[in-house]
Each structure stands twice: as structure tokens, then as C-alpha cells.
Chain A
Amino acid sequence: MVDSAKPDLQLEPTARAENPPPDYSRLRTVITLVAIIAVIVVFWEGMKSFSRANDYELMIGGMVIDLSNFNNTQLPHLGDIFGAFFEPAQRNGPPLYQTLLSAALFTLGEAMLGFFIGAVLGFLLAVIFTHSRLLQNGLLPYVVASQMVPILAIAPMVVVWMRQIELSALAVPIIAAYLTFFPVTIYALRGFTSVPPTELELMQSYAANHLQIFFKLRLPNALPQIFTALKISATASVVGAIIGELPSGIQDGLGGAILNFNQYYTQGPPRLWATIVAAATVGILFFGVVALTERLVVRWQVKESN
């Protein structure tokens, strides 16, 4: 059996591993990111100064192209957007970044609660559908249909219902959950049911019960897919929370801030843009947390589909 170990020699630490060549892959990622940002900045500011130099109009072969989209009202300078963070939104108020930070935390809290409710609901639906063909065939079309209804149409009704049962605080999380349960149901269902037939036969050969088959085979088999869904849901929950704030009249979150700065847009366009930057940052952070959790949980190499 000595020779059988030979193909696995690379498993052992080799002489090269003790003195590894420097790993440039991380550095390359950072350089790429910086380069992409630089390209955006150059394009953004370049288009603006080009448009201004041409008086926001361009004549090409007798056709007039309107460039007014690049004026300072409709597309502020990046420097102005960045500067807006440090100026007070209201006279004698705190600088905008403080306002936005507390709004972002408020919205993130709603989004996380909605994410949690949606993930649990989506997971349970997938478990039920996995074990009952009848319920899957009967209910899955409605689950799909639920996502065809615009969230903007549903949100005001949820707010009214929740107010009626005196659970107004739950209105926004429920609206966020409405967007987040769907990917979890679809991906988890696929993960639970896409078990290779022989792996299922193996469990049958042990006379394993349904519970054991679920926890020892279906669930671990589905985890990579479930995490894919959770990453989608994390960002969708932030969008859901912001949209949910609009009809519920909540002023404390990013939705309220967007509504507010939208109303007074002409008096300070960069404030709305700064708020958008803040909302995007919240989504990216939440996504990052889920991605990090995935790396801690899914530690095995996923088999390539054969």
C-alpha cells in the first residue's frame, strides 16, 4: 500500500510551502477594485466637464443631443456628494453623516428582522414542499405569484393591517420578509431535492428514518444553495425595508431620508446622492456578513455536478 500514497504526496507540506512565494492575488483584487473606481470617476467627471464645455448640447450631423443630464442638478460632482456627508442637512443640525448613520442603523435593524422572518418562513416552506408533492404542486404557484405583485402595492396594506392589530413596529420587517422568503424557498427546495439517487439509496440501506435523511443528507446537501439564497435575501431585505418605510410614514430610516431629500432635491441634490451611497453601503455590509458566515459554515469543497 506504500505506493498508493504516492498520488497524495501533495497533501503533505512540501519544502516550497515552508518558504512560499508571495501571494499577489489579494493585492491584485485591491488594484482591480481601485482601477474600477478610477474608471467610474474619470467617466463621471469627464462627461460632466465635456458637457459643460459644449453648453450641454452636442450637434452631430444636424442632430442635437441634449446633455443636460450631466448638469450639477441632475448629476452632482462626486466631490460635492462626498462633501455633503460633512455638512448639516438642516440649519444648525448635525452633519449629514450622523443623520445617515442613525437612519442606516434603524433601517438595517428592520431589514435584519425581516430577513430573519423571511429566511425562517422560506426554509419551512421548502421543508414542507420537499416532503409533500401535493402541497408543493398546490402551493408553489401561489408562492411564485406572490412575487409578481409589486411590493409597492402590498406595502400600504401591510401597514394598515399591522396598525389595526397594534403591531406597527412589525410592518416594515414583514414587508422586507415578503421579498426575502422567496429565494430561500426556491433555492432550499432545490437543494433538498437535488440529492444524488445513490446517496439516498445509501440512507435507505441503513434503514434511516425521514428525520435522519433530512438532517444528515438533505440539509447539508442544500447548504451551499441556501447560502446563495440568503445572500440574495440580505440585499433584498434592505430594499424591502426602505420601500416599507415610505407608506408607513416612518421618518427615522433611510426610506424617510430618501423621501425627505427627494422633496427638497433642487435645494441640495448631493444630499439625496449621499443617501443612496449610504443605502448601498448597508446592503453591501449585510451581504458581506452573510458571505462571511457562509465561509465559516460551508467548509467543504462542493462537488462539481457530473
Chain B
Amino acid sequence: MTAIISIKNLTKRFRASDGHEVHALENINLDIEQGEFISLIGPSGCGKSTLLRIMADLIQPTSGTLSVNGKTAAQARKDRDYGFVFQNATLYDWRTVAKNVQLPLEIMRFSKQEREQRAREMLHLVELGDFENKYPWQLSGGMQQRVSIARALSFKPGILFMDEPFGALDEMTRERMNNELLKIWNNLGVTCIFVTHSIPEAVYLSTRVVVLSPRPGRLAEIININLPRPRGPETRDLDDFFHLMSRVRGALRGLGATDGKHIESY
């Protein structure tokens, strides 16, 4: 299999407002294959959101190479190869739910008929078919985030970047959203790159969990998650689920050690 996203020796430094240089990311190497579900996990300030934004060409790397769909990240963005879901739903207040989902389609000059059809289809997919004409403020946080996922998928991109999309939701809603997301990932075969703070979320969703260490952001460990699929509520009760969680936790805890590479056994 060929890598759909390939990152080599990627480094990002920027100058903080107080003048000194911050090493946000240091020598990152990562290959992501078609159809994978990759979680980026790490403590605050480890640069996981920065890495995601570099892949999406919203931020430029300082050095290193990066290819998305076999082209530069900039070209992939111009070709609308990916959808991006932000931490807050980022819906436009002045648009109804359906019109929000249609926003990328308007920008990409789809016909009105196709826009309406796709918005209906996508809202159905995230089970918000009855809320087309509501405004964002009339929805709960979880529903808003589902609209934002529908919007990101409306133009059928092959890649979905998600920046802590469920971070602001309560535990119950978050678990339900995890199931929804897995269903969508299964049905559409998109490649997901998912930034999160939550260990159970990362383990539950991913094919691989990428653990990042902070200051400078380094790739500490990549953990394969070979839990059986399809996954559901019962997955969370498996012994392997707990083992993998403690492996991730161990990798994260190992970051506190001076060499940054020590991993606790379980």
C-alpha cells in the first residue's frame, strides 16, 4: 500500500511574541495509508494541532517534506482533497443548518440542486435530517459538531482532518459521537487524522495511535490498535482495550522521563 500522507523530517519553529524561538515540532516522520484512522495524542503544547494544520496547509512547516495524495499539501488543499473539522463547530450563525452544510459546495460552485441534495444526504448521515431549517444556536453542542462533520464530508473528500472535535462534549455524548464517526468512517472509507486528548477515544477509534512528546514536539511512539472490528460499546469492555489504554498511558507518562523514550511496561 502506498502512503496517502507522507511526512519526512518535518520541523516547525516559530517566534513567540516574547521573541524567543519555540520548537513546535522536531524531525517528524510519519506515513499514513489509505483508509487508516490515525489519532494524534499528547499533552497540551506538544504540537499535535500544529502538525494537523501543517498537513492541511493552513500552516507552513519550517523544514522537511510533506506529501498529501502524492502532491504538495498546498496543491491538495487547492484540489479540495480534505475536509477539516475544528474543535468548536465553527458554524456560521447567519446560516441555517442546511445552508451551513452547503457552504463548501457553494464555494466549489456545485449546482443548487446538487447542493440541496448533498446537504440532505449528509444531514441524514449524521441523523439530523429534521433540523435543516434550524439555526446553529438552536442545537446542542453535540448536534452542532455533527453538522460540522456533515459539512466537512459534503464534498466527499478522501481525507478528514479533525482537531479535537469532541473535546468540549460530555462523556456520554462523546461516546455516542465516537460510534457515529466510526460508522461514517466505515461506510465512506475516508482516511481520518484525529487529534485528541482522550486516551479511551484514541484507542477506541484508531488503527494506530501516534503519541507526541512536548517541547519540542517529537514522535514518541506509534501504537498499533488491533482491536476487532466492527467496534461497539462491548469493545470498551475487552481486556485488550484496557491493555492498549495503559500502553498509550505509559507512552504518555514516559514523556515525563528525561530521555523521552522510556516506556512503562504493564
> A: which residues have CB within 8 A of B?
1, 4, 7-8, 11, 196, 198-199, 201-208, 212, 216-217, 220, 223, 298-303
Contact = CB atoms under 8 A, between A and B. Distances in A.
A204 B59 CA distance: 11
A223 to B, nearest CB: 7
B29 interface: no
Interface of B: 53, 56, 58, 77-78, 80, 82-84, 86-88, 90, 92-95, 103-104, 106-108, 127, 134-135, 137-140, 142-143, 173, 176
Contacts of B142: 4
Contacts of B83: 205
B143 A8 contact: yes
Contact of B94 (A4, A11, A202, A223): A223
A300 B80 contact: no
Nearest to A2: B127
Contacts of B134: 11
Give the dominant DSSP class at A's interface: helix
Contacts of A212: 107
A8 B143 CA distance: 10
A207 B84 CA distance: 12
Nearest to A199: B90
Nearest to A301: B137
Contacts of A1: 127, 176
Given A201-B84, A204-B58, A301-B137, 17 more contacts: A1-B176, A4-B143, A4-B176, A198-B88, A201-B53, A201-B86, A202-B84, A203-B107, A205-B77, A205-B82, A206-B103, A207-B107, A216-B106, A300-B95, A302-B93, A303-B93, A303-B137
Nearest to A201: B58
Contacts of B58: 201, 204-205
B143 A220 contact: no
A134 to B, nearest CB: 23
A97 to B, nearest CB: 43
Listed residue (A201, A202, A205, A212) with the most chain B CB atoms within 10 angstroms of its CB = A205
Contact of B92 (A8, A199, A205, A298): A199
Contact of A205 (B56, B140, B173): B56
Given A8-B140, A301-B135, A302-B93, A202 B106 contact: no
A107 B29 CA distance: 72
A220 B77 contact: no
A298 B56 CA distance: 33
B93 A216 contact: no
